[in-house]
Structure 1
Amino acid sequence: MGRHRNPCVLIAAIASLTAGVMQPAQAGEVLRIGVVGQISGTHPNITASGNTLMLSGLAARGLTYFDGDVSMACLLCETLPTVENGLVRDDVDPDGKPGQRVMFRLKPGLKWDDGKPITASDFVRAWRVGREPENDYAWQSRLAEEIWAAVALDERTFEVRRRGRSCAPSDFRFMPVRGDGGAADHNPKSYRAQSPHMTSPLVRGLYVGPYRVTDYRPDPENQVVTLDRNTHWSGGRPRFDRIELVYRPTPQAMQQAVAEGLVDLVTDTRPAIAEAGMRLAPDRFVDFQRAGRTLMQVTLNLDDPALSDVRVRRALLLALDRNALAGLVSGKAAPARSFLSENFPAYLPSLAEGGLAAMSEAAKLLETSGWRAGADGVRRDSSDRPLAFRLAVARALLDGPLVQSIVESWRGVGVRVDVEPWGGIAQLTGANPPSMALFGYTIEGGANIDFHIFASHSIPKPGEARNGLNIFRYRSAAVDAIVAQLREGCAPERLTPGFRDLQRHIGQDLPLLPLFFMPEAHLLPRALALPDAQRVQLLLTQEIENWQIRD
């Protein structure tokens, strides 16, 4: 069965998971997975974030997924479509430009959790509702722009027609959408508002996977989603009878949950949580840490008048000591030399060094761009406007040493920063967006990246909130040309020059300020046997059928 390397994995934001003790219960074996953060619903495409990944793999599966090797693989399809097996063919789009036809065939026996068959029409319906901006679907821009037609050919077969020549034409990570004569059929634009996932998530007939949601407690301080076996699942039978996703709003709250034995597993978490688990119960846990791919960065809103000047952006970067900032994080944080990590195959260092030695250069840049030192220590322009920015910060980072250090460093060159809680991507695209946002951003995946986030065609419309957006509002004809070139190339020898050119441009233009790459930590139960220990990048619940307990 063929596989495609990931062409564009954008996983926005910091999602963390936690640990404790596996306990038998009356319902059978229970596994409790801790997640730092929250979810706002049970539909993974409507409420997409890193925090929904676990739920998606358990009860809301799409047709395909990126596996632990970051390769495209089938979940609900019978065979992964490829050019080699004839399921991907050349096509022409409505504008007469090159395109692709992709034929998908579902696995036999697929059913919703109420026993009704899942059909090809359910996936065509997913495309129809997903392409409507009102539904704020994850990857909605790719659906709307790249897929221009989808049609069911029989109960198990449907065809997708795409614009352009994709390196991963079989990427269709969308959960099927059931018809039943509701909004999805009659008014696709209103699907989000009327979806039972948002209004009554416990009813039968919503879930696809080895589990179904049987309890959902949205308490922001103690959110828990309970999943029990889906008796209509036709795939492999997982070891666990029940899964509990235990959400906590902050790392500190999750660390307390570890101490109280409320969770059994944490992956891709903070080193401090993993280290706490090892101190508390070294006989129960295995600790695994390594340099990660999540970039801690400051997203800049280039529509802000002051930030529209690249000299100001360069001064802000020079004022920050990225080595010192990385040292504030426990574990193996790596200072950023590019917006891509050193592990990326086409990595190219492209950022100027900052810190104390560069403070005078930062001040000089601000002077030459018209920002003079003020009596109160804050620079001002010729109109007496202060050089001040609103910095939105992820809740887990508020009041921490990282934010303090950034604020003090910028104050040292005459920049005032007002810190406020970050409300997610929606806050960055709303009516009154902040000037900046500090959060973790996973841009790369395997040997590829989501280069669309730098393209001018991905600049969000007012109020638009989803993954894959150019939230920086960065405009560059040269980068648009690089993105167009990257879309056409799949082989590494064709992609590498483009990726290096992209790093050069981003390093010069600075639509974001890369700080460091977060260390990747995992706290795993000693009893849990994984399919392949080397693939602990993210414990994929799409593969939970293979998770076992050692005797």
Structure 2
Amino acid sequence: MRLRVGALLLAVAAPAAAQPRDTLTIGITQYPSTFHPNIENMAAKSYVLGFARRPLTAYGADWRLACLTCETLPSIENGLAERETTPDGKAGIRVTYRLREGLRWGDGTPVSSDDLRFAWEAGRDAATGFGPAEFYRSAYELIVVDPRTVTLRFDRVTFEYASMGDFQPLPAHIERERWQADPRTYRTRTAYDTETTNPGLWNGPWRITDVRPGASVTLDRNPAWNGEAPAFRRITIRTVENTPALEAQLLAGQVDMIAGELGLPIEQAIALERRTGNRFRFLFQPGLIYEHLDVRLDQPPLSDRRLRQALLLATDRRTITERLFAGRQPIANTGVNPLDPMHDADVRQWPFDLARARALLDEAGWTPGPDGIRRNAAGERLSLEFMTTAGNRGREAVQQVLQGMWRAAGIEARIRNEPPRVFFAETLSHRRFQGLALFAWISAPESVPRSALNSDEIPREATNWSGQNFGGYRNAEMDVLTQTIPEQLDVARRREMWRRLQAIYAEDLPAIPLWFRSDAHVWPQWLEGVRPTGHLNVSTLWAEEWRVR
């Protein structure tokens, strides 16, 4: 699969260089809740760690899978992947990876097969809380071939067998002892959070040298890095959760650029471009970014599908995208983006229809009260808690609009927002939200949403809160589809299964689909080489290619 997304930038005359630039300051809107590569999934962490570590594989800006720390991408054709029968008679596959020569942790320790083995051992223990759980369940054996080579044996064959996702080396010489002491409490004792500036944690072009919780992360060149030499001696990443304040820091020169992955809402960036002319470079990058409302499904009133459908019918998404986002955010009918080859253009749609929304609420037993807010037979108000990331001007504007639209249908929305690091690390991951949660999923090309839709992925204490099915969605057919789609190697048959997945999603509404987001990247005119991907793997994984013009 090869897709390209993006926009052309107009060439502009480069200003005369006053002095060599060897530092770069980047503004983002969130701060990582943890620095451990395998605990919790948060875009801010992925962006920061993209400078400081390298996984085995990643999808690039061309949407093709490539090796980052491995020598050769395994395939059946090159013999590094072999079909086999598992000990219990299943169709399986063994995949062999060889680490690039010369890879070292920042303290000089070689990156080795032992680091991959430790990552596999920790992931296999459910008490550790690594995700995705299905990867570690399926990878039932890891064989150390030599100090740089491992073979993983999987108990099923998938079309994405060469992609290792978040599986990556972890520094066993630092982390193994901490993990062995007690896997269940490892996530609170990992050196990634207690000794974040320990150079031995990082194998990328830079290493983290200073952290100021909630405010900034500083990275300096990693002397142990043996890849392409990075241009910048130091990179500082500042967290400014309030987007107008972030824009002000850009204009004042306090930050050089704003990361599109975690930056300004698109409407704010469009207005900024109009005001500043060619002072900065702008790129509006469409991608696999799904803005939606997670729904607490396992408790009333949102457990009633009719209420979820009424919410969507009462939402005029087209008007919102045109007025707030200049029409640049295509409306979503499911979580599968039209840019993805498995998108079904004929899936059921829910156009704005206030009368139909009201009828569904009537049918569900919610009748208008004296103040216009509906009540059930017990006299309980139809009032829903509505959360998102505090300080994001675009999302907070959407909240206000949705609150008014839903009130017209008789639904009250009570807005309660939290800082991103609390919202993602605590409220969502521990399923403490009570109604609706507005945020975005970012996925890789043709990424099966097992972690968000399979009932095995509902976070719970027994798995140390791993999994991303925050709403508590349970559907037996969806469980089967999210398990078996990866195992279907025939593209045409797989497409039919994807079509069925999207049909169930559009009818059941495990989440309320809103739109697919475009990211607004804002760079200084002197910076070149940044290549946004438009998907899960962030641009910072190739930051050693960034250069000063």
Q: Which AA in structure 2 matches 1:217?
A: R
Partners of 2:452 and 2:470 within 8 A in 1: yes
The runs of 5 or more residues in structure 2 that have no matched partner are: 4-14
The answer to whether residue 26 in structure 2 is matched with residue 30 in structure 1 is: no
CA distance in 1, matches of 2:16, 2:200: 29
Shift of 1:57: 2.0
Shift of 1:156: 0.9
* CA distances 1:216-245 after superposition (whole Å, capped 9, x unpaired): 111x3xx12111111111111112111111
CA distance in 2, matches of 1:235, 1:185: 32
Task: Tell me the SS of whatever aligns to 1:209.
Answer: coil
The answer to whether residue 246 in structure 2 is matched with residue 254 in structure 1 is: yes
Task: Tell me the SS of whatever aligns to 2:385.
Answer: strand
Shift of 1:448: 4.2
Task: Tell me the SS of whatever aligns to 1:521.
Answer: strand
The answer to whether residue 290 in structure 2 is matched with residue 287 in structure 1 is: no
In structure 2, do the counterparts of structure 1 residues 326 and 94 end up closer, same or farther at CA, with 3 Å as the change threshold?
Answer: farther
CA distance in 2, matches of 1:534, 1:417: 35
More moved, 367-376 vs 92-101: 92-101
Shift of 1:431: 6.3
Question: Residue in 2 aligned with 1:108?
Answer: 101
In structure 2, do the counterparts of structure 1 residues 504 and 407 end up closer, same or farther at CA, with 3 Å as the change threshold?
Answer: same
Shift of 1:95: 4.1
More moved, 248-257 vs 328-337: 328-337
Shift of 1:432: 4.1
Question: Residue in 2 aligned with 1:265?
Answer: 257
Partners of 1:345 and 1:447 within 8 A in 2: yes
Task: Tell me the SS of whatever aligns to 1:391.
Answer: strand
Question: Residue in 2 aligned with 1:520?
Answer: 519
CA distance in 1, matches of 2:286, 2:228: 33
Partners of 1:131 and 1:140 within 8 A in 2: no
Question: Residue in 1 aligned with 2:152?
Answer: 160
Partners of 1:151 and 1:159 within 8 A in 2: yes
Q: What does residue range 100-499 of structure 1 map to in structure 2 within 5 Å?
A: 100-137=93-130, 139-172=131-164, 173-180=166-173, 182-218=177-213, 220=214, 223-266=215-258, 267-268=260-261, 269=263, 270-275=265-270, 278=273, 281-331=276-326, 332-347=328-343, 348-355=345-352, 358-397=353-392, 400-422=396-418, 423-424=423-424, 426-430=426-430, 432-443=432-443, 445-462=444-461, 469-499=468-498
Q: Which AA in structure 1 matches 2:337?
A: S
The alignment covers a number of residue pairs equal to: 524
In structure 2, do the counterparts of structure 1 residues 136 and 229 end up closer, same or farther at CA, with 3 Å as the change threshold?
Answer: same
Shift of 1:98: 1.8
Shift of 1:351: 4.2
Task: Tell me the SS of whatever aligns to 1:160.
Answer: strand
In structure 2, do the counterparts of structure 1 residues 431 and 336 end up closer, same or farther at CA, with 3 Å as the change threshold?
Answer: closer
Relative to the length of structure 2, the TM-score reads 0.87
CA distance in 2, matches of 1:501, 1:318: 22
CA distance in 1, matches of 2:431, 2:378: 25
Task: Tell me the SS of whatever aligns to 1:424.
Answer: helix
Q: Which AA in structure 1 matches 2:402?
A: I
Shift of 1:463: 8.2
* CA distances 1:451-507 after superposition (whole Å, capped 9, x unpaired): 442222222224868775222322222323332441212453232222222111111
CA distance in 2, matches of 1:475, 1:249: 34
More moved, 533-542 vs 164-173: 533-542
Question: Residue in 1 aligned with 2:82?
Answer: 89
* CA distances 1:138-164 after superposition (whole Å, capped 9, x unpaired): x33133322222232221111212221
In structure 2, do the counterparts of structure 1 residues 431 and 225 end up closer, same or farther at CA, with 3 Å as the change threshold?
Answer: closer
Partners of 1:136 and 1:466 within 8 A in 2: yes
Shift of 1:306: 1.7
Which structure is higher in helix share?
A: 2
More moved, 289-298 vs 56-65: 289-298
More moved, 260-269 vs 245-254: 260-269
**CA RMSD for the aligned pairs?**
2.9
Q: Which AA in structure 1 matches 2:338?
A: E
Shift of 1:174: 3.2
Shift of 1:209: 0.9
Task: Tell me the SS of whatever aligns to 2:83.
Answer: strand
CA distance in 2, matches of 1:405, 1:85: 55
The answer to whether residue 74 in structure 2 is matched with residue 78 in structure 1 is: no
Question: Residue in 2 aligned with 1:46?
Answer: 39
In structure 2, do the counterparts of structure 1 residues 22 and 86 end up closer, same or farther at CA, with 3 Å as the change threshold?
Answer: farther
Question: What is the aligned-residue identity percentage?
Answer: 29
CA distance in 1, matches of 2:44, 2:523: 18
Task: Tell me the SS of whatever aligns to 2:325.
Answer: coil
In structure 2, do the counterparts of structure 1 residues 344 and 176 end up closer, same or farther at CA, with 3 Å as the change threshold?
Answer: closer
CA distance in 1, matches of 2:226, 2:255: 29
The runs of 5 or more residues in structure 1 that have no matched partner are: 7-20
Partners of 2:314 and 2:405 within 8 A in 1: yes
Shift of 1:381: 1.9
Partners of 1:178 and 1:184 within 8 A in 2: no
CA distance in 2, matches of 1:22, 1:257: 23
Q: Which AA in structure 1 matches 2:223?
A: T
Question: Residue in 2 aligned with 1:11?
Answer: none
Partners of 2:374 and 2:411 within 8 A in 1: yes
Q: Which AA in structure 1 matches 2:339?
A: N
In structure 2, do the counterparts of structure 1 residues 170 and 188 end up closer, same or farther at CA, with 3 Å as the change threshold?
Answer: farther
Relative to the length of structure 1, the TM-score reads 0.87
In structure 2, do the counterparts of structure 1 residues 24 and 99 end up closer, same or farther at CA, with 3 Å as the change threshold?
Answer: farther
